[in-house]
Amino acid sequence: MNNEELRLNRLANHQIFNKQDSEFSVLKNSVGIQSQAQRMAEINLAIKSKQLDLSKLSKDYDQQKIVRSWSQRWTLHLLTVEDWNLVINARSQEHLPNNYYLGEKELVLKAEKELTPYLDQQRNLSKPELIEFLSSKMTEQQLDTNLIYAILQTLTANGHGLFNPNSTTQQFQLVSAKDVYQPMSIENAVQQLIVEYLKGYAPASLEDFVKWTGIKVGIVRPIWKQVTSDMEHVEIDGVINYAPHFLTKSELQDIDNKVHDNVQIAAHFDALMTGYIQKEWLIPTEYQSIMWSKNGILMAPLLVDGVVVGHWTHKVSGKKVNFEVITWKKISQAKQKLIQDKLLEVTLFLEKVPNNIQFQQL
């Protein structure tokens, strides 16, 4: 297998050229969607699934079919409740970095222990209600720090709570997970998580999985070895990549045909960008710094012929949306029209009207 075949296999498993039947299929394929900026995660769901609208998503949230919680790498994700259970159990031996506790680790752990039964009793808590409860446990100065988030991250990591995505990060609604959390052994959870990861991300390496999850390699390595023992594998540039199966020659040709004269967009923090250590398979080395801002924002990728050639941004003003497409490669008029069609889908999902789409070549 060469690097081109590696790229085609990964693009195929990410379902990059096929809209999926539902938002749940999209979430399952990537085991959640990173949602530091939730609207961008929702746009990613809309780009990749058929006939998704904001009202349907809102119902999914209220029915707890899709939840929001800290997941891989201690980052916020939208997940199906089944995948939330899987990730929580797989990460059960991971702990917050000590600096998250701001020197108050004992206070955080005590507050989380007292908050859990109260949340179970109340079923859900708004941010003001949470602060009211914690005000009897913490000083006013402590309430003004990020200690509240350390408490929430500890609580969610223990499987005791999650967030209704209909609420915002700033004005959240914390929901008891008592009725949905299903404990399982870490070995079974990691095993299942590896299987799910390889379905959507293969070919991939042990190091890729460890980077993607943030789970310690000492926990993963023996389980990875067991799961992949009968899988196909190939060494590329000194890295062993595993897959449940590799594409046949005819399947490779089919994907190759779809790649040519094709454009695709994804949103910020897309799984294509976060699922692997090395990015050269998708983005030329000299342009990778353009896709990551200095403050850690991962730009929304634009793919032309199956390779990232730039990124796009949008700005909502009232009922109108303006787009800017920035590329390091000249884009033909025909492909600009295909990009515009993709961006119009975003506009429809946001229930807005397009105002302007500007192209800029670096």
What's the pLDDT score for residue 297? 85
What's the pLDDT score for residue 23? 97
pLDDT > 80? residue 94: yes
What's the pLDDT score for residue 133? 96
What's the pLDDT score for residue 303? 97
What's the pLDDT score for residue 146? 86
pLDDT > 90? residue 221: yes
| Mean pLDDT computed over 11-19 | 93
DSSP string, 226-274: HHTTTSEEEEETTEEEEES-PPPHHHHHHHHHHHTT-EEE--TT-HHHH
Q: pLDDT for 101-138, tens place per residue?
A: 999 999 999 999 999 999 999 999 999 999 999 998 99
pLDDT > 80? residue 294: no
Long-range Cβ contact pairs of 169-172 (< 8 A, separation 24 or more): 169/38, 169/76, 170/127, 171/126, 171/127, 172/126, 172/127
What's the pLDDT score for residue 59? 97
What's the pLDDT score for residue 316? 96
Average pLDDT across the chain, whole number: 95
Q: pLDDT for 239-280, tens place per residue?
A: 999 999 999 999 999 999 999 889 999 999 999 999 999 999
| Mean pLDDT computed over 214-243 | 96
| Mean pLDDT computed over 4-32 | 95
pTM of the model: 0.95
pLDDT band at 295 (very low <50, low <70, confident <90, very high): confident
What's the pLDDT score for residue 236? 92
Inter-residue contact 136 to 87 (CB < 8 Å): no
pLDDT band at 144 (very low <50, low <70, confident <90, very high): confident
What's the pLDDT score for residue 145? 84
What's the pLDDT score for residue 296? 76
Long-range Cβ contact pairs of 345-350 (< 8 A, separation 24 or more): 345/46, 345/47, 346/43, 346/46, 346/47, 346/265, 346/314, 346/321, 347/321, 349/42, 349/43, 349/46, 349/52, 349/53, 349/54, 350/43, 350/54, 350/316, 350/321
